[in-house]
Amino acid sequence: MDAGSDHLDDAVRAVLALALTDVGREREAVALAIAALAPHLPRYQRSMANYARLLVDPEPGHV
């Protein structure tokens, strides 16, 4: 992920999401997968990206 951006970014994120699931970090895995998918959606890109962010970084006062 730190190596820079290229056409394989989403594939790397998909593999990382699977690895996170294997170690019990499902919320992070879903957040990563949705964040990778969001730019490809014809609608609701911003909503999906925000939802993904909130899965792992909730706003103050929210759980």
**What pTM was computed for the model?**
0.75
Greatest Cα pair distance, the chain, in angstroms, is 38
Return the HEC string of 5-62: CCCCHHHHHHHHHHHHHHCCCHHHHHHHHHHHHHHHCCCCHHHHHHHHHHHHCCCCCC
Query: In which residue are the tokens 């103050």 written?
Result: 60
Whole-number pLDDT of residue 17: 95
Q: What is the rounded CA–CA span in Å between residue 15 and residue 50?
A: 21
**Helix (H), strand (E) at residue 51:** helix 45-56
pLDDT digits (tens, 9 = 90+) for 10-47: 889 999 999 999 999 999 999 999 999 998 898 999 99
